[in-house]
Amino acid sequence: MKYELFLICPPWKQYRAYKRSNKIMTDSIPPSTWRALRAFNFIETCLAELAFQEHVVLVWVTEKFTEECREYIGRLGYQYDTYLIWKRPKWKRGSTTEVFEYLMVFQKDGYKVPAIDFPDPLESPFTGMVKCKGQKPEDAYVLIEALYPTRAKVQIFGNCQRPGWDVFQRNDT
């Protein structure tokens, strides 16, 4: 099956190990680097083999990994378009800093999604609540489903099942 919309929740904490993996001898790759290679190669394979020619990629990324996200997705041939901000709950007790995650939108080969009307991210970060650390807010899914009601959707590294979505590589396995 081919998909028109990809929602990706990459393991960004492993990205730096993935970037350094080309500098490591193949006979001495540590297990953490193997996990990073498998994760990011899986994303590349899914996008290469499962995407319609005209498709959209939405990527969840925490504030500190936004540049790495642009670099990685850009190397795959995608152009950055826009983003939406989620002011998510703090996971660490005692933390006083606000935590933001970005839902970044990328498109390939100059394909412009018709009628994409994301709200202005700087004026209205949404504050969706979640039950567990790995979940994403319901409001984000509702927005995506409203913008793309008929498109074939897949979530890569997702952790919840939703009607109309396929999920590959669940985070909880």
pLDDT at 45: 94
173 falls in which pLDDT band (50, 70, 90)?
very low
Is residue 61 in a domain? Answer: yes
Average pLDDT score over residue span 96-106: 83
pLDDT at 66: 92
The CATH number given to whatever domain includes residue 80 is 3.40.50.150
Is residue 173 in a domain? Answer: no
For a pLDDT cut of 70, what percent of the chain falls above it?
Answer: 80
Contacts of 134 (CB under 8 A, 6+ apart): 9, 159, 171, 172
Structural domain total, the chain: 1
117 falls in which pLDDT band (50, 70, 90)?
low
The whole-angstrom separation of Cα 102 and Cα 82 is: 10
Q: pTM of the prediction?
A: 0.85
pLDDT single digits (tens) 27-78:
677 888 888 889 999 999 999 999 998 899 999 998 889 999 999 999 999 9
* Nearest to 155, CA basis, from 87, 103, 110, 80: 103
Is residue 157 in a domain? Answer: yes
Is residue 56 in a domain? Answer: yes
Is residue 127 in a domain? Answer: yes
Is residue 75 in a domain? Answer: yes
pLDDT at 34: 86
Q: Does the structure show a pLDDT above 80 at 125?
A: no
pLDDT single digits (tens) 140-162:
888 888 888 888 999 999 877 88
Is residue 151 in a domain? Answer: yes
Q: Which domain holds residue 32?
A: 3-168
Contact 70, 80 (CB under 8 A): yes
pLDDT at 54: 87
